[in-house]
Amino acid sequence: MPEITFVKSALPKAGALVVLLAEGGNPSALHTALDEASGGAVGRALEAAGFKGRKGQSATVWAPAPGISKLVAIGLGAEGALTPDGAEAVGGAIWPLISAETEATLAADGVEMPVAVRVALGTVLRSYRFDLYRTMEKPEDKPKLARLAVAVDQPMAAKNAYAPFKAVAEGVFMTRDLVSEPPNILHPVEMAERCRALEKLGVVVEILTPKEMKKLGFGALLGVAMGSAIEARMVVMHWNGLGSAPAKGRAKKPAPAEKPICFIGKGVTFDTGGISIKPAGGMEDMKWDMAGAGCVVGLMAALAGRKARANVVGLVGLVENMPSGTAQRPGDVVKTASGQTVEVINTDAEGRLVLADVIHYAITKYDPKWMIDLATLTGAIIVALGHEHAGLFSNDDVLAGQIEAAGKATGELCWRLPLSDAYDKQIKSDIADMKNVGTRAGGSITAAQFIQRFVQGRPWAHLDIAGTAWATKDLPTAPKGATAYGVRLLDRLVADHFEG
């Protein structure tokens, strides 16, 4: 992650200079200063390139003045029309153009400070690389830029405004690291141990073993893990930010007795499908079937890192779903921690079994104000929504609306789908309280209906992130690979509706 520093507006003596220009807008002071230093060559070069400041437009002028390696001009689109996530996309577009430089300055003196901060954040988010296992990469193929200086009129104010975003970016990177790891490295036991890193931020971390989960009646979660040689784990992460000093601008201090909110993540570190085994093609992607849990871990890091004034509990159920002589079979009946029984029709519908026990634990242990679970739960959600939106299901209209708004504010979009008795009837079992799958029709909805049977009427939402957890191409603020979808959305949700 490149370091972001905020500096006084002054023409740099070396490195690349990035300038931002709205369509029809006036160049910033640094842009004008460089043009003058180049004897007008910068303006002539941009005019020759047809650069008008249109959204998504960019142009490069090489060696425009002594010491300056290149000028990178980025278009902002129509003046005054730039949204926060649009500003981040601008920052994301900057990174590939400057990553090979050893020094770079972003001339943000021509835009408002909140825009400058979000552009810097977008650059950082786009800079992510997972290269832990690349041993043959040539040095010239690696990014060199370790620090980006952002020139603004009020550096200290910008630094303070950027601080919470930096904490969130670090949470995003933590999630991306977890989701990117190969499954022979990141199995349930290892992932649980990595959660202990949150203790340095003040998060209380508790790890439950199979012995402890068996005493709690976790028949559904442990049933999924039966086929693996690696033990299951459940991790509980508690951040109580109510005891810290009130943040500036807070209208009230939340009461110490305020109930927590709970975030619950599906953590299947590798999913073969079990006895209902998946096709071989593309099965390697199932290393990221723990992306819901990865999101919860990164979210807890973000909240603790920015010292959120909130009482939050993150819970992740960690298992590996493997076929073996000890694996759960189609036709088995398991008893969940809630006492409800489930007929397992398809062992590849395992994530909802994991969530059922963890959700019950969250309710009985913490009596939460509301709950949100995240899971790469169904391929059906990709058929329905593609890779543009996560599927949102909820029994609470207010909570659902707040999640949708937070998604729009951060660019992590979701789309609400229905829940109803008609869908619930599809998971009725002939021999148990329910079965773990319905028909192929409405598969994402019946999966959500299954989870809803364990929430005991509490305000709850389910995010099916199967289509958004992993990108097969570069995105504006995320390179190809793990996206960490959900970290920023849920951090924004907490900030807007739970911190007072």
pLDDT band at 14 (very low <50, low <70, confident <90, very high): very high
pLDDT tens by residue, 296-319: 999 999 999 999 999 999 999 999
pTM reported for the whole predicted model: 0.94
- 250, pLDDT greater than 50: no
- 252, pLDDT greater than 90: no
Q: How many angstroms from the chain centroid is the CA of residue 112?
A: 27
The tally of CA atoms less than 13 A away on the side-chain side of residue 281 is 0
Q: How far apart are CA 144 and CA 102, in angstroms?
A: 5
Across the range 425-437, mean pLDDT stands at 98
The SS3 of residue 304 is helix
Instruction: Pick the more confident residue, 250 or 104.
Output: 104
Three-state SS letters, 392-443: EEECCHHHHHHHHHHHHHHCCCEEECCCCHHHHHHHCCCCCCEECCCCCCCH
pLDDT band at 500 (very low <50, low <70, confident <90, very high): low
Share of the chain above pLDDT 90, in %: 91
Dihedral over Cα of 429, 433, 435, 438: its sign: positive
Q: Which residue, among 211, 233, 228, 213, has the nearest Cα to 328 in the 3D structure? A: 228
Instruction: Pick the more confident residue, 247 or 439.
Output: 439
- pLDDT confidence of residue 243: 65
- 79, pLDDT greater than 50: yes
* Pair type for strands 341-343 and 261-271: unpaired
The amino acid that residue 51 corresponds to is F
Q: How many angstroms from the chain centroid is the CA of residue 368?
A: 22
pLDDT tens by residue, 19-60: 999 998 889 899 999 999 999 999 999 999 999 999 999 999
Task: Kindly list the structural domains of the chain, giving each domain's residue range(s) and its CATH number in brackets, ordered by start.
Answer: 3-153 (3.40.220.10), 165-497 (3.40.630.10)
pLDDT tens by residue, 470-492: 999 999 999 999 999 999 999 99
Q: For the chain, give the mean pLDDT.
A: 94
Just list the catalytic residues: 278, 352
Q: How many angstroms from the chain centroid is the CA of residue 110?
A: 31
CB-based contacts of 411, cutoff 8 Å, min separation 6: 85, 88, 89, 476, 477, 488
- pLDDT confidence of residue 242: 85
Across the range 88-94, mean pLDDT stands at 96
